[in-house]
Amino acid sequence: MAPRILLARHGQTEWSLSGRHTGRTDIPLLEEGRRGAKLLGERLHRAPWSGLEGTEVRTSPLLRASETCAIAGFGERAEPWDALMEYDYGAYEGLTPDEIHARRPGWVLWHDGVPDGETLAQVSARADEVVEWARSADRDVLVFAHGHILRAIGARWLGQDIVFGARIRLDPTSLSVLSWAYGEPAVERWNDTGHMEV
């Protein structure tokens, strides 16, 4: 079996709800985020996933991701990993896109980066580290992390520059699966929030 990587974005927070760039600020889930994490966990414990026995689990150490992981029922199996932390937005931490555009018209994260934070090359290197780990053994992996780093991982899994991440949005508590088709890296499922529709 060729390895797959399952990507779970953390649940809703006050800042994700308001559109604020939340990099390293460690904020908890809202009640809606906890509900989403519970629904995601219930989904992953039913067929066809059936609890993902034998799947290696890692989580960003930031509270919103680790809390989503724990509520979903994978906390005891998960290993915290700094490579899964969100983009360090530097001077743009906590700002909305509108607030950033007022300072820097036409700004796009995936092309322009951020002042005093991580470079696009640094984020790409972390995404590559996660992809290499996911492909390193004959088993599936499940990660709980954040919107922009997961989009970067998706781009790099497909062999694309991380700027491709601008084209693949992710909603809170979404489930995505990256796998293989005809021997090539492929998207099996992306931004699936079907578990939220109950």
pLDDT in tens, 104-150: 999 999 999 999 999 999 999 999 999 999 999 889 999 999 999 99
Q: Which helix (H) or strand (E) covers residue 145, if one does?
A: strand 141-145
From the list 95, 173, 94, 156, the residue with the least C-alpha distance to 122 is: 156
Is residue 89 part of an annotated ligand binding site? yes
First-to-last alpha carbon distance for the chain, in angstroms, is 33
Is residue 73 part of an annotated ligand binding site? no
Q: What is the DSSP letter of 176?
A: E
Number of domains in the chain: 1
- Rounded distance between C-alpha atoms, residue 92 and residue 114, angstroms: 7
- Rounded distance between C-alpha atoms, residue 74 and residue 173, angstroms: 14
Residues taking part in catalysis: 10, 86
Give the number of other Cβ atoms within 10 Å of residue 198's Cβ.
8
Task: Please give the single-letter amino acid code of residue 11.
Answer: G
Is residue 23 part of an annotated ligand binding site? yes
Residue 59's CATH number: 3.40.50.1240
pLDDT of residue 1 exceeding 70, the answer is: no
For residue 138, the model assigns a pLDDT of 86
Is residue 92 part of an annotated ligand binding site? no
Is residue 98 part of an annotated ligand binding site? no
Determine if the pTM surpasses 0.75: yes
Q: Which domain holds residue 148?
A: 5-196
Is residue 22 part of an annotated ligand binding site? yes
- Rounded distance between C-alpha atoms, residue 81 and residue 159, angstroms: 23
- Rounded distance between C-alpha atoms, residue 189 and residue 192, angstroms: 7
% the chain with pLDDT above 70? 99
